[in-house]
Each structure stands twice: as C-alpha cells, then as structure tokens.
C-alpha cells in the first residue's frame, strides 16, 4: 500500500471513530466536553465540519458546540502539526531568553506569530504561559516530552533528531 492510501484510509478510520465516540456516549448532550476531547484526540484538533456533525448528532445548536470548543483552552480549532512544540513564555522563561528561543524555532521552521503550523503539517509552535518547570527555564515541550534549559544549539539538535526520524520512517514505508 502506498502513502496516499494509508492517509486516506486513516481519514476514513478517523471519521468512523467519531461516529463510534458519539454512539458510545449515547448521543448525550451533557457529555459534550468528553466527546469533544475524544474527537480532538482523533484529529489532533476540532475540524469545523466535525463540530457541525457533532452538533447535529447531539441535536444542539452549532453555535453552542462552537462556544464550548472555543471556551476551553485545551481545545484547538486549528489543525496542528504532528509535533506540537510548546515554548514557555512565563516570566522565568522569558527572563532566560524564551523569546529568542521562539525566534530561532520560528526562523528555522519558517513560521511566525501568525502562522503556527508548517505546510507539511509536521510542526506547530505555540507560545504558552508558565509550564510549571521554571527551574529548567527556558522550557519547551514537544508532544508531552519536556526539554529544559534549551539554548540555540540544543534546540537545533532536537529538531534535527526529529527530522532524521521522520526521513527514516518515510524510507521504511516506501520500501514496504
């Protein structure tokens, strides 16, 4: 099977998951937040159309579902990359140069304050407030993994490592 097919089948599976999630929760409006959490887990964000679908299935106004999805900080309405890089911009990290770290990352991935996600959907950069690891400032988190005292050199190394892993995986898949 080639990559195109894996991707599209993945999408079919995602949507089937949505159907199952809604069913599992019995079309119950009061479970909206849990349902959205699980849907987000599938897509890594909440696509508009899927939110509309959820609203229809739960028989609620779309605006209400959208209101809930935008209220909680842990929901995202934007598609995010495979690697979500959270850079702490809390006071301690700020003092220790987190803005420079942000600049470096954005420069390297050709992102900006407006553009958060790379076109190949690999990386998303988010500036967040205090991650609670001020002792390690400046701190960044990539998909749950915490990196402390990140300077430019360390930052570069981390990115290189991820990219190397990705290339290897792609080669593997093609040779199947």
Partner 1 sequence: METKGIINIDGINVPIENEKNVLELIRKADIELPTFCYHSHLSTYGACRLCVSDIDGMGIQATCSVPPRDGMVVKTNTAEVRQIRKVNLELLLANHDVSCPSCSRSNNCKLQDLTRRLGVTKVRFKKTDKVEPIDNKSWSIVHDPNKCVLCGDCVRACKEIQSVGAIEFVNRGAKTTVAPAFLKSLADVECVYCGQCVAVCPVGALTPKPETEEVWKAINDPDKYVVAQLAPAVRVALGEGFGMEAGSATTGQIVAALKRLGFDQVYDTSFAADLTVLEEATEFIQRKLKGENLPQFTSCCPSWVKFAEQYYPELLPNLSSCKSPQQMFGSVARETLPKLLGIKPEQLVIVSIMPCTAKKFEAKREEFIHEGVAEVDHVLTTEGLGRMIHETGLQFRKLTPESFDLPLGFKTGAGVIFGNTGGVSEAVLRFAYEKITGEKLAANDFKMVRGMDGIRSAELEIGSIKLKLAVAHSLSNARILCEKIVAGESDYDLIEVMACPGGCIAGGGQPISFEPDFREKRAQSLYNVDKQLQLHKSQENPYVKELYQMILGEVGGHKAHELLHTHYHGRKRITEQLLTIRDTEHPKIEVCVCVGTNCFLKGSQELLKKLMQYVTENKLEDIVGFEGQEEMVDVKATFCFERCDRGPVLRVNQHVIEHASFEKAKKVLDQEIARIGALMNA
Q: Which of 3, 6, 9, 112 binds partner 1 (CB under 8 A)?
A: 9
State yes or no: residue 5 binds partner 1 (CB under 8 A): yes
Does residue 77 contact residue 91 with C-beta atoms inside 8 Å?
A: no
49 vs 144 by CB, closer to partner 1: 49
Residue of 48, 112, 129, 143 interacting with partner 1 (CB under 8 A): 48
**Contacting range for partner 1; rule: CB under 8 A; set: 28-36, 50-58, 92-100, 106-114:** 50-58
d(CA 167, CA 162): 9
Nearer to partner 1, 15 or 45 (CB): 15
Whether 120 and 161 have beta carbons less than 8 Å apart is answered as no
Of 131, 140, 125, the residue nearest 91 (C-alpha): 131
Q: How far is the CB of 25 from partner 1 (least distance, A)?
A: 14
DSSP designation for 175:
T
Q: Exposed (0-12), middle (13-18) or buried (19+): which is 57, by Cβ within 10 Å?
A: middle
| Biggest distance spanned by C-alpha atoms of the chain | 52
Q: Is 176 in the site for partner 1 (CB under 8 A)?
A: no
Residue nearer to partner 1 on the CB measure, 10 or 34: 10
120 binds partner 1 (CB under 8 A): no
Near partner 1 by CB under 8 A, which window of 53-61, 81-89, 141-149, 150-158? 53-61
- Give the side-chain half-sphere CA count within 13 A for 163: 10
Pairing of strands 140-142, 83-88: antiparallel
Q: Count the site residues for partner 1 by CB under 8 A.
A: 33
Residues that bind partner 1 (CB under 8 A): 2, 4-5, 7-9, 11-12, 15-16, 19, 48-53, 55-57, 59-67, 70-73
């Amino acid at each position: 099977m080639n990559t195109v097919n894996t991707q599209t089948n993945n999408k079919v599976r995602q949507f089937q998951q949505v159907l199952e999630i809604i069913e599992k929760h019995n079309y119950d409006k009061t479970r909206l937040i849990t349902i959205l959490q699980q849907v987000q887990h599938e897509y890594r964000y909440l696509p508009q159309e899927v939110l509309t679908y959820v609203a229809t299935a739960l028989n609620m106004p779309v605006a209400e579902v959208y209101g809930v999805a935008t209220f909680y900080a842990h929901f995202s309405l934007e598609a995010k990359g495979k690697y979500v890089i959270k850079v702490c911009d809390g006071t301690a990290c700020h003092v220790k140069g987190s803005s420079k770290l942000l600049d470096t990352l954005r420069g390297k991935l050709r992102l900006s304050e407006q553009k958060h996600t790379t076109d190949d959907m690999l990386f998303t950069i988010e500036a967040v407030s205090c991650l609670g690891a001020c002792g390690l400032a400046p701190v960044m988190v990539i998909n749950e993994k915490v990196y402390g005292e990140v300077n430019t050199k360390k930052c570069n190394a981390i990115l290189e490592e991820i990219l190397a892993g990705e290339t290897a995986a792609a080669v593997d898949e093609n040779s199947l």
